[in-house]
Chain A
Amino acid sequence: MNIIEIRGLTKDYPLGKTIVHALRGIDLSIAKGDLVSVMGPSGSGKTTLLNVIGCIDLATAGSVKIGDRELTALDDKQVTDLRLHRLGFIFQTFNLIPVLTSTENVEFPLLLQKRLDRKEIRRRAEKLLDDVGLSEYRRNRPSELSGGQRQRVAIARALVTHPDIVLADEPTANLDSATGASILEIMKEMNAREQTTFLFSTHDKNVLKYARTVVNIKDGLIDGN
C-alpha cells in the first residue's frame, strides 16, 4: 500500500523576471513503512520535493496524495493539522525551540495536539529521548547540546506523535561522519520498530546503505528508480 502518491508534480519559482522550474513533472509512489533516500546534487530539486510532500510548499501543478488526502485541495488550517498529526520533520539546521529543554521540545507537538494528558506526554517524550540516547540531557536546552545531540532531539520530536511519514532534509549535512552515521542508524532502527515511513534527502552517497529505496533526482526529474 502506498502512503505517498505523486503524479505530474511540477513546481516553479519566480526568480526576478525568469521562472525556475524546480520540479518538472514528477511521478512517484512510496510504500508505507519504506525508508527512502532522495539523492541528487545540490539544486536538483530534492528539498523542493520534500517540502511539497511535507505541505511546507505548494505544488504548481500535479497531484500529491498522503494516504487518501489530496494535498492541493487543503486549506492552511487543514494543512497545519496534517503536518501536526501525520507528518514529522527533521531539518538540516536542527530547528529546535531555543527556550525549551530537550524534553519540552519533544513534548511540543503533543502539547499542540492536546490529545493526551500531561503525564502521558511526559512519559512518551522521555522514552523517546531514552531511545535516541539522550536521557542524560533531558533538562538541557538546545544551546547546551552538540549538533548531533540536537539532531537526535529533532528525531525524537518528529517521532513522538507516531506520524505516518517522517521527512528529513539532509539530516546529516551539518554533522561529522560518525555522528551522521549514528543519526541514520537511529532512523533505520525507528523505521524498523515503528514501521514509520522515512523519506530523507541527501547528496552523500555514503548514506545510501541505510536506505531501502533510493530515488535519484536530477534537474527536477526522477532519474530512474
Chain B
Amino acid sequence: MELICKIAGRNLWRHRGHSLVIGAILFLGSLFMTVGNGVVSGMDRGLQRTIVRSFTGDIVLLSDKHESDNVFMEMMGRAVEPIEDYAAVRAVLEKDSALSDFLPIGKNMAMILNDEDGPSAFVYLLGVDFGRYRKMFPGNMEILEGRFPVEGQTGMLLPLWARKEIRDQTNVWFVPAGAPMGLGLDTSHMDADARKHRADMRVKNGMVMMGFNEANTATDIRLNVDGVFRYNALNTIFGHFALTDIESYRKCLGYFLASEKNQGKVSGADSALLSMEDGNLDAMFGTDSLVVTDKPAAGLSGPPVRKSPPREAVSPRPQNPPAGASVKPAAMDLDQGAYNLVLLLLKNGVNSDAALAELNARLKQAHASVRAVPWKKALGVVGSMATIIKGALFVFVSLLFVVAVIVIVNTLTMAALERTPELGMMRAIGARKGFIGGMFLAETAMLSALFGGLGIVAGILGVGVLSLLKLTSENDMLQLFFGGDTFHPLLTAGDIVLAGLQLAFVTVAAVTYPLLLARKVGPLDAIGKE
C-alpha cells in the first residue's frame, strides 16, 4: 500500500495538468453537492416551520367520505365532508403519544355576498377556536390592522391577500370593526390599484357570507372583521384562507352548533327542517326554499352531524356591533359541534411515516370514519411543489454527478492510455493486475480526498455565507424554494456525511472504467511486437 501510494502521489504531481482538471471538477462537484444538500435541508426545515408549524400540522385527519386527500388546495372543488364522529377521533388522538398537539377545524368555501347586486367574491374559511389556534400555531401571522379576535366570541380575521382579491372582484374594501372608514382610512397596506381607485371603493367592516357545504347549500351569516393579517410566509398561497370562530363557521355551513348541542337544541335551520312536514320536503328544492324566512318547517330528520338546510337568514348584526358578542358560554364544549378536519402536530423526532401508519391503524381499530394523510397530500399541488422543487434540486445534483463522472472518466481513460508502456512494464516485472488497479484507485482517491474535501469545506462556508445574507422574497414559488420568506440553507452533520458519500460514489463511478482498462494492460503492450 505504501508503494502504491508513493507511486500514485508522484504520478499525480507528474501529471499535474490532468490532476488539476479532475481536481477542479471534483472541487466544483463537491461544492455544489454540499450547497445543494444545504438548500434541500434548509428548505425541509423551512417548510416544516412555514407550513407544518404554521398551517397544516404534520398530519391531517379528514372524513373517509371525502374522496381526495387534497383538502386545502382543491380550487373550486368539492366541499370538504364533515367528520361525523369527532368524539371517537378525539379519544384516539388523546391517547397518541406521538402527538404534541392537535386542532380540529372547519374548512370550506364561502361566498361573500355583494349587497349592491355586483359580483360576489369567494374566500376559504377556516373555522377555529381562536385560543387553540394561537396555541397550535404561535407566531404564524402578523396582525396588520385591528386585533386578534377575543376567544369565545364571534370574529373573523381577513388575510391581506383575500382582502385584495375581494376588492378586485367586488370593489369593497374591508377594514376591521372600529377602524376609520372615511377620512383616516388606513391605506398603508393598500395595493397600488386599490389606492388608485380609492375614491370609487366602498369601505365596510362586516360582510355577509354564504357557506358552501358538500350539498352546496348553506346559511347566510354576517360577520364583522376583527383584524387584517398576513401569514408570515407563503402569504399569497395561504392568504386565501380567512379565519372565523368555529361556531360562526358552523352556522355559515349549516352544521350543528356546539352551543345548541350543549343546550340540547338544534340550530335554527335544523329546527326549521325538523319541524317541516313530509309534504313540504319537495319545497326544499323548489324556488320557495330560496326564500329567506324565519318560519320553521316540520317533519324532517337528517344525519346526526351534517345538515344541508335551505338558505336561512341569520339576523344580521348591526353594521358595527359591540365587540365581544359571545356565542360560546363559558363552559361550552366546542367539540360537540361539527368539524371538517383535524390538524395534528407530531412531537420532535417522531418519524412521521411511522406515526401516520400507526395512527391510521388505531383509527381503524376505533371504527372512526376518518383517515390520516400527510400534510403534503392535504396541501395538494403546494405540497407537490415542495417535492418537485426538492426533486429538481436532486436532478440538478445528479446531473452534476453525471457530468463530473463523464469528464473524470475521459481524463482518467486518457491517462491510462498514455501510461500504457509504464503500466505494461510494471506488469512485465511482476506487478499483478490488482497492483495496477490499486494504483489508479489510489490516484483518484487522493484527488477526491484533497479537492473533493476542499469542495465540501468551501460548500460548508458557502452555505454559512448564504445563510448570513438572509435573502428574502415575496414570491411564493421562491418562498417554497426557500422554505419560507427568508433563504436559510442549513447543513447538518448528516448532510456533510451525505456529501462525502456522494463524493465517494462519484469517485468509484469515475474510476471504474479507467481502472478496468488499466488492469487489461499487459506486458506486451509495453514492449510491443517485433
Chain A positions within 8 Å of B, measured between CB atoms, are 13, 22, 42-43, 45-48, 51, 54, 56-57, 76-77, 80-81, 83-85, 88-89, 91, 93, 95-100, 104, 108-109, 111-113, 157, 169
Contacts and interface: CB of A to CB of B under 8 A. Distances in A.
Residue among B13, B435, B526 having the largest count of chain A Cβ atoms under 10 Å: B526
Residue among B14, B527, B530 having the largest count of chain A Cβ atoms under 10 Å: B530
Given A77-B432, A80-B427, A45 B527 contact: no
Contact of A48 (B422, B522, B523, B529): B529
Contact of B3 (A54, A85, A111): A111
Contacts of B529: 13, 47-48
Residue among B3, B14, B429, B527 having the largest count of chain A Cβ atoms under 10 Å: B429
Nearest to A43: B530
Contacts of A111: 3
Given A22-B530, A51-B524, A56-B523, A99 B430 contact: no
Given A76-B433, A80-B427, A112-B430, A95 B530 contact: no
Contacts of A113: 430
Contacts of B421: 93, 95
Interface residues of B, number: 26
Contacts of B430: 80-81, 83-85, 109, 112-113
B65 interface: no
A97 B426 contact: yes
Contact of A56 (B3, B431, B432, B527): B527
Nearest to A47: B530
A57 B7 CA distance: 27
Contacts of A51: 524, 527
Contacts of A43: 530
B443 to A, nearest CB: 11
Nearest to B530: A47
Interface string B1-26: 00100110011011000000000000
Given A51-B524, A56-B523, A83 B428 contact: yes
Nearest to A77: B432
Contacts of B523: 54, 56, 83
B425 interface: yes
Contact of B530 (A48, A81, A93, A109): A48
A165 to B, nearest CB: 13
B524 A84 contact: no
Given A80-B427, A99-B10, A57 B526 contact: no
Contact of A45 (B13, B522, B530): B530
